[in-house]
Amino acid sequence: MFQNIGLFALLLGVLVTVHELGHFLVAKACGVKVLKFSFGFGPKLLGFVKGETEYQIALLPLGGYVKMAGDIPGEDLAPEEAHRGFLAQPPWKRMLIVLAGPVFNLAFPILIYFFVFWGAHEVTSTRVGNVLPESPAATAGLRPGDRVLAVEGEKVRTYQEMSEAFIGRFERPIPLTIERDGKQQIVEVTPLKKVESSPIETIERGVMGVESSSRVPILGVPADSAAARAGLRTFDRVLAINGTVVPDQAVLYDVLAKQSGTLELTVQRGRPVEAGAVVARLPEVLKLSLEKQPGEGLAALGAESSEFYVSSVLPGSPAEKAGLRWGDRLVSLNGEPIRSFNMFQVQISGLGEKPFGLTWRGAEGERTVQIARAPVQVKEEFGQVSTGPILGVQSWDFSSPAERIQLNLEWHEALTQSARIVPTIIKQTVKAIAGLFDNSVPLSSIGGPIMMYQMAARSSELGWDYYLQLMAAISINLGVVNLLPIPILDGFHLVAAGWESVRRRPIPVRVREVANVVGLAMLVALMLVAFFNDITR
């Protein structure tokens, strides 16, 4: 607990100090007399005076402040120093001083991300773990175990880089450089268009139907197939082929590509055992043989992926009421073939509680039923309770971890990446804040100190990289929010200085006083909303 409090205090202290450091340095450069620079609030713990400025560390490390001479209207200054007061400066200098705080908050994340990216990091490789049936990747001939080296000539080293390379690339042939069995080759894939929309932004990207995680070779066995005739059953897990262990489908593809004729399979099967009202499935190992079938991967066994088969049905759910049972094969959604269980979940998620036609094949043949998901309450990571509809079916489809590799970024590569990602986050932050004013982003998304504390604690558990990225995100938020033209914030001081430069006279003191009261009321209201959201979470 005390460690989490310390991390939370460090988070706030560093970000507010960076903000105030911007004001401090530019004020010094503009000739303004700076009386005090404080890290923290409250009673002074340590301090010293250098030149005309007192530097101190205060008791509460939750921020900091800069005290400049003449920054309050009507403040008395010695005649010889009156010209060095903040309000005595020309508008352009005051604008620079005010702007420096938010600019430092927006620039500081570049330094943070530089240290996050610099050096050796473990990342997900471009090795294809799984190829979805009937996907563009499957049509192009990609298979598990292939390693993507370049997308349309653009080198990719990580799975994220590969995914980002498909932004704006879709519905046309895209040449991929891949490595298979130690040799490079070119394959052309025509990605489908996928639109990812949120209140913040809309991204159009190509999807080719691959996953980084490789599937554990668990079988889906159609009736009257070669696999069924050989004695294989749905949800059998292939352990070995001709004595070679197959931990995932990538290895299974490689092994089967080198085999012909009769295949000797070692499989694990869950044997049903009744224990009262509960049916448990105890594992047993079997040895079976069959002739290799035409096709690659699971097709060479006369089988398909188990992801199309229902492994469990939630009691009382819409799925159970519609008649879905263990082992049923999902066929189509609203007449369109189901190509993967994940895609099926995404599709029905977009339908909300609207009815849809679901076709499946079971012991009694093929059935089509109109069905609608029912709402349930779900508690999310930081305590938010959301209500979402569910269907109530699960697929018995396990994945092995995606391949992880060490990526070593040189300093110039780290700097380039950090300089590229920060403007993107700034843009997203601006859109998110703007969304609060047009109701596209709900007020319930605003978080206060409690949520920040939880996020600091959670990110530190995940590692320093996550903690630093959280610090970068909050720094950007702090910078953008301070640029809003709300009295008390830096944005209003920018507007006031701009007004003075145009009208050749300052905003009347009375107007400033009223504006400050209004601004304070707005900030208090915002904090109350944040605290309310934190407490209800």
**Tokens at residue 401, please?**
């971890």
* Helix (H) / strand (E) containing 215: strand 214-215
Phi then psi dihedrals of residue 39, to 5 deg: -95, 110
First-to-last alpha carbon distance for the chain, in angstroms, is: 19
Strand partners, 48: 55
Phi then psi dihedrals of residue 515, to 5 deg: -60, -40
* Helix (H) / strand (E) containing 347: helix 341-351
- 366 assigned to active site: no
Q: Using alpha carbons, select from 459, 530, 381 the residue that is nearest to residue 7.
A: 459
* Beta-carbon contacts of residue 442 (< 8 Å; ≥ 6 apart): none
DSSP string, 384-434: -EEEEEE--EEE---EEPPPEEEEEE-HHHHHHHHHHHHHHHHHHHHHHHH
Q: How far is CA 494 from CA 78, 91, 192, 479, 489, in A?
A: 27, 9, 47, 14, 9
**Are the C-beta atoms of 192 and 207 separated by less than 8 Å?**
yes
DSSP single-letter state for residue 65: E
Which is the catalytic residue, given 20, 304, 307, 403? 20
Question: Rounded to an integer, what is the distance from CA 110 to the centroid of its chain?
Answer: 19
Distance, in Å, from the CA atom of 418 to the CA atom of 258, rounded to the nearest integer, reads 45
Distance, in Å, from the CA atom of 22 to the CA atom of 41, rounded to the nearest integer, reads 18
Other beta carbons within 10 angstroms of residue 329's beta carbon come to 20
* Beta-carbon contacts of residue 384 (< 8 Å; ≥ 6 apart): 444, 537
Catalytic residues: 20
